[in-house]
Structure 1
Amino acid sequence: MVSRGQSAQCTTNHPVHVPHEWHEPGDLVIGAMASHIYYIVPKVSFKKHPSQDFYDAPCKVLTKFYQQILALVFAVDEINKNPRLLPNVSLGFHIYDSYYDSKMTYRNTLDLLFKSHHFVPNYRCGIQKNVIGVIGGLSSDTSWCMANVLGLFKIPQISYGLFQPAINYGTKFPSFYRMVPNEDLQYQGIIQLLLHFRWKWVGLITPTNEAGERFLQTIEPMLFKNGMCSAFTERLKFNMNYNSNKLEMAEDSRILFTTFTTSKANAILLYGESRFSIWLSAVLSTMELYQLLFPQKKSRDGKVWITTTQIDFILYSLQKLTVNIRMFHGAISFAIHSKEIHNFKDFLQIIRPHWTDTDGFIQDFWEDAFSCSLSNSTHSTFSDNICTGEEMLESLPAPYFEMTMTGHSYSVYNAVYALAHALNSMHLAGAIRNRRDAKGKLSPWYADPWQLHSFLQRISFNNSAGEEIVLNEYGELAAGFDITNLVTFPNNSYVRVKVGSLDPQAPPGKELTINEDRIKWNRRFTKVPPLSIYMETCVSCPADQYPNSGQDLCIPKIPNFLAFDETLAIFSSSSALLFSLITILVLGIFIKHRNTAIVKANNRSLTYGLLISLLLCFLSSLLLIGKPNMVTCLLRQTAFGIVFSVALSSILAKTILVVLAFMATKPGSNMRKWVGKELAYSIVFSCSIVQVGICVLWLATSPPFPDVDMHSMPEEIIFLCNEGSVSMFYCVLGYMGFLAIISFTIAFLARKLPDTFNEAKFITFSMLVFCSVWLSFIPTYLSTRGKYMVAVEIFSIFASGAGLLACIFTPKCYIIVVRPDLNNKEQLIQRKL
């Protein structure tokens, strides 16, 4: 653990302690989770403790995000110097890093609450930290992990970077607040921006993750509704793996190079987080190499990058000589609304490597930002260049550090003040009490974190920039966004120029205001503002057609059903006929030898009924082949369900008769009157009539009907039988399963009865096969579409029917045909004896 007088390094090997933290004690402590350090963690080797694997991994410093840490420190320092806010009390803070890793976020969140020098969950050891609220995290993953822990203890959490709709968070985590606006407003702003510049042909780039998919599912319908089309949608595998300190990105560079050389779209909407911009900058720089290798396929000049609020343009120190940020010149970005805070720039100018003994982040920041090694460093990668300690933060280009307060830092600053004002309101309301600390000293202020919620929920104050900070009913900031324009310079730096705003209080459709005169467009554009139109109007293809790769032509979708002339259908039909012939052959054998002992021993009528029902089961699979029509749709599942129920009922009757026949052989047994054809017929009829009733109810209320599915497969139309009532379909399957389980249970219990009457062990195996097939059928059936869904059901019918046929009748046919000498009552009794 980093203590006073110590500083951690990225390359330090601490198998147990967290190497980066900043702790300043106070009467009340604000916890925080930064996102400053990123470890490139390899797969766990299982050769040493996993935490040691983590800290031994190479470490990357997101130097620009150090400002967010400093914004919290600056806000706490301001509050402690303000006699009108929290008088006679000192605020402290304890900052950890999430390392962009869920495991470390969970661990460090617990450390914030309970750790002194030993990690004991749910216990405070040594001097207790009175953590009254926690600020963080920057990303949705970090915020979610923190909320899972903090919500248990009702500790207020204020996120400064989570933009997804907060309704679910508010429901699951009532202790969760956000110092940023709702993302839904940003979506409206994107659409209004595109409408303002009449950009109807837009490319979309997102990382391949849940957030990226959620963005596409939201924005694409909005584009279509407003007469716009997506020229391309690239889901890129955002991975920060390094090979010899170089990002592995060749494949994605080829993808984007191909896209950019073929697409006529000039407007590109970029969604992701700040680390995605690091990776994308490297990818786009690699594209320049492809242009040298393939000059005949030159990328279309000029792109307008439209970036969402989550993205900040940052770079790693290793990219200083390899990545050119100027490719983003002219980008239009949505940003968290912010104002310059008085004295914050002066505060940044006094920052030096040894300005405080408690900052556990600054050594790695300083060495990485200025590519030098501090005198007390033992593991620096910049040992050839010694830091003077007098380097100036203002000399760093903007991708590595900014002197003006960024939107995220502004959110952190306001989050600290929100907690302070809530505490102050709590004090004025008389809810603050005194208590004695571990040394017996009377503490003037003590607050239970859960008490802050009623004050945070109605918080309203003016910050030092004169802006009113208010949270809405969902616990999110009631504010808008700034629209900024990125202006880059030859030294790889940039400035962000405010060119507009997004105001949620404005009339509908007027939320966006843009000052075009302030925008600096990409230097390659010959006309400004640029055009991004391919067609005057974007027209969606009809439901039975799909667009070609150039998205300028609609192509008819291909019908999808199991036609009789397809290989799969031919194989299925042949298999159905083969199994039917085998069943007929077995039935013929049993009829021919109907007076032999083995046929008579197990009730001939039930055997004939079972074989006939299996024959119909195999033949019912033919109803699934071909284009669905009204007749086949009505018969497909109902016929299959009824004939299989008859088969299972016959098996159940045979199993029960085996048990009763054995019990009837005992002296003085009253079971003889129950053994007979009447009982067998009653069981088959009563069990089958239930399934018939289910099917009749199904057909009477919500029968299956021919239908088409035009959306599940982009290039095909699926012709199918709509089940009408899915619940009734699963009732049919469920009843079959019920009969199978009952038969299996009785047969399993009776499997060791004497062989003379025992068919139970064969039935046990057959039911085991049957249940296995249909248990695996349901998930497989639900995960397939079109003809393959039909094929799964056909295969299940064949597998289960063949399993019953083989397990029950193969041993009997062997004796009847191959060993007729055993087919008599005396031999059967001798085998048992």
Structure 2
Amino acid sequence: MTYLEKPIEIEEPKVEIISHGPLPKNTEDIPRQIRALATAISGISGVDYQILFDGMTSVTWFVDRLFDVIYYRIAQSAIFATEEINKKEHLLPNTTLGFSIYGSCDSVSTSLLSAMHLLTGKDQPIPNFGCKRRPALSAFIAEDRSALSIPIARLLGIYKVPQVSYASSVNALSDKTQFPSFLRTTPSDDFQAYGIAKLVLYFGWSWVGILAEDNDYGLQGSLLLKKELEKAGVCIEFQMVIPTVFSAKITNNIVDAIEKSTARAIVIFSTDNSLYQVMLTVANKNITGKIWLASDGWATFSKFSTRRFFKTCEGILGFSIRRGYMPGFKEFLNRLSPSKTQGDIFIRTFWEQLFSCQWPSRVQNGTGNENKVNEGSRLCTGSETLEGLDIPFLDMSDLSTSYNAYNAVYAVAHALHNLKHCQPGEGPFVNRSCADAEDFEPWQLLHYIRKVNFTNSNGEEIFFDANGNPPGIYDILNWQVTPENTFSFLTVGRFDSRAPSGQELTLNQSAIIWNGGQRQVPRSVCSESCPLGYRKTVQPGKPTCCFDCTPCSEGEISNQTDSTECMKCSDDDWPNQQKDTCVKKPMEYLSYEEPLGAILAAASTLTAVIPAAILMIFIKSKNTPLVKANNRELSYLLLVSLSLCALCSLVFIGRPVSATCLVRQVAFGITFALCLSCILAKTIIVVIAFKATTSDNKLKQWVGPQLAKSIVIVATSIQIILCVLWLTITPPFVGRNSSYHIGKIIMECNDGSSAAFWGMLGYMGLLAMVSFVVAFISRKLPDSFNEAKFITFSMLVFVSVWLSFVPAYLSTRGKYMVAVEIFAILASSSGLMACIFLPKCYIILLRPDMNTKEFLMGRGKFSTKKLK
């Protein structure tokens, strides 16, 4: 952009495409390679091209001025902005803003040459030499394609000449080290890549394909997209490159990959011209059901609005740079006319295309007669008007690129305004100086463009970040087939990088129509999501998005879909049946409420009542010879201890608490020690009594109640001492065992010291064995009722029970271990009671004739008669 009195006209370029072969009879039969090249050229405004065929030397097929009206409208938007600025008194007053337009012909070399023309002012530009008069060149508004902007930006960066692009979005241009003077009014592709990745995640697609055009725009954009997708856990099934020059082999390979792919979502980073042949081949193969995600390079490509693309392209979601409204722009376009627009070298071509006419000076035939109109054409008069025409050129619904070019011109104008209105001593340069508004350097204007911040006529704030980029704002478009058999680009959402994290993407999902007219969101996954209670297991040799669903192991849950790991429940918890949440483990202990506990409690009570009843019988019959002969005091004490043994088993039933854990084993050990001590005392007294029948026997002095008491006290005291030491050093405590039984917590009393427990049982076994040996020795002593025989049997029962108890006790846990111990207590105490006291009760209650001194001394006669 320069300060000039009038635009500079340039010669229209021409491109020739040579193809060997005969002339086709119909343009539809032109080889696809030729048509592809023609399509590529169609994006260049004001370009003539010829297609020459060998073998037809006298005939040349000529396509006149293939002209793209959209590019022409972009140029008109810049002109409109310039004229609008010149009319505003508050912006650049007393200054006329001018412009020069050069064509790039979609060529890097031509673009650089045009830039050098503008920098030097020479037809044959000489580097580092300029002959342009002041005012100097202000800034470049260029280019649309990143491939052309990059070399220009490298050149202009050397001279620090500002360059503001309205469509170049490649991310590399954000690097201010390489491109210090480049800015743009279109967002950088890193915003677009991030936005597309957010869109993919929004719909839950984890398996996608990527197509990228073979240039900086496609390759860098797809690379950014791939990083964003992989960072979010999305897998790429395939990534292929679309050639910029048509290749049938590569195109077919791409289409075959699309057809065979299981990924339904395919992201395409490309411009429209390069993509056309790929989508045409897809449409010809009738490949449907795909989810096409379009970058801004082809999101509004009107060439797909034909019937052959309806099945393929319906439902496309595209990212389009923000659309804006320029008040008065349509009226400005309506006023275009060859007679009113001076210096516009493109308007005559535009007029011919629009009104299907030819200017007299361009009418030709084979003889050179310039007054004859070609068949099917009419002469252009110039009086035609655009007013009221329904054409894409006048469609104000999609002014995205034109709107960005409009903002680019305004950005330069505001920068010039700020430069001109710098107050002396408040400038941004050395010593706070200001630039000379009539003779400034490009780098001085560049400073102001970087800092520009204004609100345009559309009410939108325009500014650049530190990298020369505007905010990433995109419209999300949905391609929907209209009743008029064309595509409507319906806005269904928006992406705004300025929004808080997580809120950048807004979408009206209900307004989206997918391929095939479906309303339901299609799936694009390699493997369906794993439900709750399962975890993902990666399939060997495949990406992480391809997996099998494996149920969580015992004790683990997953409460999210697609969990990669299962979480282990705490020791107190256990997975529910679905394995999606941890629930409290049930507590297991021997309770009174369950049948086993109730039965054992009843048995314990009964076993405690029977010795008490026998005790009452013995007390009632205390003066009978049988009771007196068997040391009735020891019998009383033994019956009491047997009753206590049975009652102490009740302490084992119920939920363990600290008190019961401390008491139950100690109570059991002491009461059984007392019981066995009484039996031992009885046995020893019987032996001593029979051995001391002679007058000179020394054992006679031991006969008496003192010996029995001493035996009981000493034998029981030893057990008491052992139990006290146990409670003092390592007392039992309440334990929660969650490892023995899966899914349950066993409430148990931990013995604290296994050695103390088994030591207590060992001492009881010692007392039992001594009692058994002594009783066994005295079993044949002469007597009508020798108690030693019954003690021998009782000790056999006792020892047998407790020897069986040891392996049973060690092989069980929880309530069954407690039940085993209770059973052993009841069985052993019942055995002692039955073997020692039931025969005596039989005689006392049923055979009183045997309960006499004579009978006991062996002098009485035995009667078999029952008492009446």
Gaps of 5+ in 2: 1-5, 17-42, 53-61, 366-372, 426-435, 549-868
Instruction: In structure 1, give the amino acid aligned to 2:91.
Output: L
Identify the residue that residue 339 of structure 1 maps to in structure 2. 324
Contact between 1:189 and 1:502, CA under 8 Å: does it hold in 2? yes
Cα deviation, residue 137, structure 1: 1.0
SS state at 2:239 partner: strand
Q: Does 1:225 align with 2:231?
A: yes
Candidates 268, 275, 281, aligned match of 2:276 = 281
Candidates 160, 166, 175, aligned match of 2:181 = 175
Measure, in 1, the Cα distance between the counterparts of 2:442 and 2:216: 32
Measure, in 1, the Cα distance between the counterparts of 2:141 and 2:157: 13
Cα deviation, residue 57, structure 1: 11
* Larger of the two Rg values belongs to structure: 2
Contact between 1:267 and 1:303, CA under 8 Å: does it hold in 2? yes
Instruction: In structure 2, give the amino acid aligned to 1:306.
Output: L
SS state at 1:85 partner: coil
Q: Does 1:545 align with 2:551?
A: no
Measure, in 1, the Cα distance between the counterparts of 2:357 and 2:291: 36
Identify the residue that residue 255 of structure 1 maps to in structure 2. 253
Candidates 193, 207, 219, aligned match of 2:199 = 193
SS state at 1:545 partner: coil
Contact between 1:11 and 1:58, CA under 8 Å: does it hold in 2? no
Q: Does 1:453 align with 2:446?
A: yes
Measure, in 1, the Cα distance between the counterparts of 2:272 and 2:387: 21
Instruction: In structure 2, give the amino acid aligned to 1:545.
Output: G
Measure, in 2, the Cα distance between the counterparts of 1:430 and 1:113: 29
Q: Does 1:272 align with 2:270?
A: yes
What is the aligned residue count?
Answer: 486
Identify the residue that residue 289 of structure 2 maps to in structure 1. 302
Candidates 504, 524, 527, aligned match of 1:535 = 527
Measure, in 1, the Cα distance between the counterparts of 2:270 and 2:339: 35
Identify the residue that residue 212 of structure 2 maps to in structure 1. 206
Sequence identity percentage: 28
Gaps of 5+ in 1: 14-33, 44-55, 240-247, 292-298, 433-442, 554-833
Instruction: In structure 2, give the amino acid aligned to 1:138.
Output: D
Measure, in 2, the Cα distance between the counterparts of 1:308 and 1:190: 8
Instruction: In structure 2, give the amino acid aligned to 1:304.
Output: I
SS state at 1:96 partner: coil
Cα deviation, residue 154, structure 1: 1.8
Cα deviation, residue 69, structure 1: 0.5
List per-residue Cα deviations over 1:733-757 (Å, max 9, x = no partner): xxxxxxxxxxxxxxxxxxxxxxxxx
Measure, in 2, the Cα distance between the counterparts of 1:382 and 1:171: 56
SS state at 2:99 partner: strand
Measure, in 1, the Cα distance between the counterparts of 2:356 and 2:310: 19
Normalised by the length of structure 1, the TM-score is 0.52
Instruction: In structure 1, give the amino acid aligned to 2:280.
Output: S
Cα deviation, residue 430, structure 1: 4.7
Measure, in 1, the Cα distance between the counterparts of 2:9 and 2:376: 23
Measure, in 1, the Cα distance between the counterparts of 2:158 and 2:402: 27
Contact between 1:348 and 1:403, CA under 8 Å: does it hold in 2? no
Measure, in 2, the Cα distance between the counterparts of 1:281 and 1:198: 29
Contact between 2:538 and 2:547, CA under 8 Å: does it hold in 1? no
Q: Does 1:154 align with 2:163?
A: no
Candidates 115, 129, 136, aligned match of 1:130 = 136
Cα deviation, residue 143, structure 1: 1.1
SS state at 2:111 partner: helix
Candidates 375, 378, 381, aligned match of 1:386 = 378
Identify the residue that residue 360 of structure 1 maps to in structure 2. 345
Measure, in 1, the Cα distance between the counterparts of 2:128 and 2:485: 48
Candidates 491, 501, 523, aligned match of 2:494 = 501
Assess, with a 3 A threshold, how the Cα gap between structure 1 residues 84 and 283 changes in structure 2: closer, same or farther.
same
Contact between 1:8 and 1:364, CA under 8 Å: does it hold in 2? no
Identify the residue that residue 474 of structure 2 maps to in structure 1. 481
Normalised by the length of structure 2, the TM-score is 0.50
List per-residue Cα deviations over 1:663-688 (Å, max 9, x = no partner): xxxxxxxxxxxxxxxxxxxxxxxxxx
Contact between 1:499 and 1:514, CA under 8 Å: does it hold in 2? yes
Candidates 402, 411, 434, aligned match of 2:404 = 411
Assess, with a 3 A threshold, how the Cα gap between structure 1 residues 220 and 457 changes in structure 2: closer, same or farther.
closer
Contact between 1:163 and 1:182, CA under 8 Å: does it hold in 2? yes
Candidates 363, 373, 377, aligned match of 2:362 = 377
Measure, in 2, the Cα distance between the counterparts of 1:10 and 1:499: 41
Assess, with a 3 A threshold, how the Cα gap between structure 1 residues 320 and 228 changes in structure 2: closer, same or farther.
closer
Contact between 2:190 and 2:221, CA under 8 Å: does it hold in 1? no
SS state at 2:210 partner: strand
List per-residue Cα deviations over 1:200-246 (Å, max 9, x = no partner): 2322222234543333433234323323223433322231xxxxxxx
Contact between 2:299 and 2:477, CA under 8 Å: does it hold in 1? no
Identify the residue that residue 629 of structure 1 maps to in structure 2. none
Q: Highest relative contact order (Cα 8 Å, sep 6+), 1 or 2?
A: 1
SS state at 1:306 partner: strand
Measure, in 2, the Cα distance between the counterparts of 1:98 and 1:162: 14
Measure, in 2, the Cα distance between the counterparts of 1:57 and 1:103: 24
Contact between 2:174 and 2:469, CA under 8 Å: does it hold in 1? no
Assess, with a 3 A threshold, how the Cα gap between structure 1 residues 508 and 107 changes in structure 2: closer, same or farther.
same
Measure, in 1, the Cα distance between the counterparts of 2:111 and 2:9: 22
Measure, in 2, the Cα distance between the counterparts of 1:351 and 1:403: 16
SS state at 2:175 partner: helix
SS state at 1:230 partner: strand
Instruction: In structure 1, give the amino acid aligned to 2:268.
Output: L
Aligned-residue CA RMSD (Å): 4.1
List per-residue Cα deviations over 1:432-485 (Å, max 9, x = no partner): 9xxxxxxxxxx9945433221222221110101111111112221134222222
Measure, in 1, the Cα distance between the counterparts of 2:212 and 2:379: 39
SS state at 1:131 partner: coil
Measure, in 2, the Cα distance between the counterparts of 1:351 and 1:471: 33
List per-residue Cα deviations over 1:370-395 (Å, max 9, x = no partner): 65533333689987423645264875
Candidates 297, 302, 314, aligned match of 1:329 = 314
SS state at 2:406 partner: helix
